[in-house]
Amino acid sequence: MEPAARQVPGTDSSAGGTDGMRGIAALSLPARVFVAIAVAVVTVGVAFHVAMVFLQTAPDNTISKRHADVVDAYVYPEFERNWKLFAPNPLQQNVAVHARARIAKDDGTTETTGWVNLTAMDGKAIHGNPAPSHTQQNELRRAWEFYADYHDDNGLPVGLRGRLSEQYLKRIVMMRFGAELNGGSVERIQVRSAVTPVAPPAWSEEKADIKTQYAVQPWWQVTSADLPGGAE
């Protein structure tokens, strides 16, 4: 049951003791054939695995393009490596997500709130925090990346992932806003990204325009599926 525990080398008499070859040489012929096959299988398996993982991580090249389907079928979903440690260039802009809501009040009037900088709230939670939570550091940041990757320039979703990313973003915004806001219920929400390039270092000669660029998305109707507790 516990092979690992038993395998302190040199203490296992049956494994062949100090002279390794004796371990294999002492075996009967069928056992030796079996071990030889196992050696071949492990060798081929390791070589194949390493090749696949290498082709997935390396930049697109002749081999990886030719065998893309084999590589993808093997590597995804479990053996993928999906981060590149700030390569080829580190992110050089702060991407913030803002949201606002249209609220239906009890007296029949509607009100549109100002833009709320949700990313700034994450930033505040991260300040002075030695171990920021994934909910603060990754949730909104990666949800926006996901959304942007699967939406066209007109803010329209691309494929299933486009629709999923939209609902995900809505649910994040609604979790942070709450169904009730400013004394009314949230009927529609709108998000925009605010992209601000990082100013070039003070010690460099470089000049850059660091004006914030906004990408405003369409208004979205809020349904019960977008609220916490409203999952299908």
**Region 93-152 residues binding another protein, contact defined as CB under 8 A:** 94, 96, 119-120, 122-123, 126-135, 137-139, 141-143, 146
Cα distance between residue 225 and residue 100, in whole Å: 19
How many angstroms separate the CA atoms of 121 and 118, rounded? Answer: 5
Q: Which of 126, 125, 195, 135 is nearest to 171 (CA)?
A: 135
Among 60, 61, 62, 92, binds another protein (CB under 8 A): 92
Closest distance to another protein from the beta carbon of 110 (Å): 26
175 near another protein, judged by CB under 8 A:
yes
Of residues 179-208, which lie at the interface with another protein (CB under 8 A)?
Answer: 198-204
For the chain, the farthest-separated pair of C-alpha atoms sits apart, in whole angstroms, at 91
The interface with another protein within residues 5-44 (CB under 8 A) comprises 5-16, 18-21, 23-24, 26-28, 31, 34-35, 38-39, 42-43
By the rule CB under 8 A, 164 interacts with another protein: yes
In angstroms, what is the minimal distance from the CB of 159 to another protein? 10
Counting other chains too, the contacts that 110-118 makes at CB distance below 8 Å and 24 or more residues apart are 110/184, 110/187, 111/182, 111/184, 113/181, 113/182, 115/192, 116/177, 117/194, 118/172, 118/173, 118/176
CA 203 to chain centre: 34
Q: Is 48 in the site for another protein (CB under 8 A)?
A: no
Q: Closer to another protein by CB, 22 or 105: give it.
A: 22
